[in-house]
Structure 1
């Protein structure tokens, strides 16, 4: 037997009741949304979207900055979103293990997203930041993480705008505007600037100073290994000059525990 599936008009009294219910629901929802903090949202954020983030935003553990069209100026693009492992089901929102997990997850996704090797991503002015649910969302059961590509690093006073789609932007030989250099007499603690700007030092190679499962060998061992390798590596990069200047940046136990195993070699190449 065929049924008539066409819509039929509601009786006038039914229409009035529906409209009244809708108005009441709308008022209630509006008040609730006005009071709700978007950072307390339990649902995982969208991947691939863009935002205008500042160093102050990145300093926070949670973020709910408005999404902007990637065709508009933006300083961040989300490149990975996922659920945290079951091991964090009963963890606190500030559990220290979260940092080590995020380092592994975001570092891997960062390298893949930019289509670069580990040495290149260690020598770029680009970086990544990760965010977790707010304390309220965490208490409600939210267990996700978000990795954002950032147009700058830890020492940046502000971030530069990214391309409309940053995927693959370090593939092949990256443009100098995305590679790390330093202007000034020394490298340690100096702000990184794009190599497209006037500079005195360029990050040219990296050295892997240990494997993933290795215990931390100690500050002295890491520094000496880095120094000796960088001396040879920079000489080769400069095509074995009679004299040359080199520098190196290396990371201590906290970064090792987070998952970093590479130091960076710098050549003095005034431009």
Structure 2
């Protein structure tokens, strides 16, 4: 993630410092992707075999909806999961918000469950459903630490007839750290991000800066999302320029003195853009 941080003192705008930072999240992501996070593409290869009939799921039950799990950060980014559900009142780190059937066919051929095509479709499906489940829109979701992760059957389970997918919500409350969720996460962002908001431990770009949940100690917070469009990566210069005006305006509106304020802006790298992060983030002191 590229970063611009600046200070406005009367009519003087300090020189911006541009650094490369690793994004989270996503899930994710800001966090990175292992085939099951919200912020990078699946990397498995495509394989197929001619099929005569759809597989059955006899003896391979689907995961339960609204189930809770005590997953580690590493387990959350795995493409499959063998974890058993836990009591939702016991501070789970993942809650299942969607379960459905995978489309494993393309032009009459059966795709492997771990193929790139199947995993891309699964990622898009789970991402698309999270904002609605949380009671918000995509913009507000991007200003939070809540991310989607997804799981599919193992190859052995798929061979036995399993064709399900599972979407879970997680909270990336600090680097490689998942936070405890509420017993049900349905609608938790309906009234805004609050404790699930995205905040920082320092000015973006400075030593010591780390993305954290706003429920933890912080000094900066994400304030706005800058939509950079779709299609090909616009380039570093264009992505950077797109955030200057909206981020300054957002910080000015929050400041006690419209002539004395600070602001920051992060925009995606080409790699992050390819992984699906097509927006930048504005920051201001908390």
- Give TM class, smaller chain: 0.7 to 0.9
Match for residue 212 of structure 2? 193
CA distance in 2, matches of 1:221, 1:138: 44
Match for residue 64 of structure 2? 46
What secondary structure does 1:63 align onto? coil
Match for residue 30 of structure 2? none
What secondary structure does 1:241 align onto? coil
Unaligned 5+ residue runs, structure 1?
1-40
Structure 2 residue 250 is the aligned partner of structure 1 residue 250:
no
Pair 98,242 (structure 1): closer, same or farther in 2 beyond 3 Å: farther
Pair 165,68 (structure 1): closer, same or farther in 2 beyond 3 Å: same
Shift of 1:217: 2.4
- Deviation per CA, 1:214-266, whole angstroms, max 9, x where unpaired? 33323332232234432333323437721322222222344434443322111
What secondary structure does 1:48 align onto? coil
Q: Which of the two has higher C-alpha Rg? A: 1
Shift of 1:58: 1.3
Match for residue 124 of structure 1? 144
Shift of 1:129: 1.1
Structure 2 residue 202 is the aligned partner of structure 1 residue 170:
no
Unaligned 5+ residue runs, structure 2?
1-58
CA distance in 1, matches of 2:139, 2:62: 31
Structure 2 residue 79 is the aligned partner of structure 1 residue 61:
yes
What secondary structure does 2:260 align onto? coil
Could you tell me the TM-score, scaled by structure 2's length? 0.69
CA distance in 1, matches of 2:124, 2:238: 24
- Tell me how many residue pairs correspond in the alignment: 225
CA distance in 1, matches of 2:181, 2:145: 12
Higher relative contact order (CA 8 A, sep 6+): 2
1:133 pairs with one of 147, 153, 178? 153
Instruction: From the two aligned structures, give the one with the greater strand fraction.
Output: 2
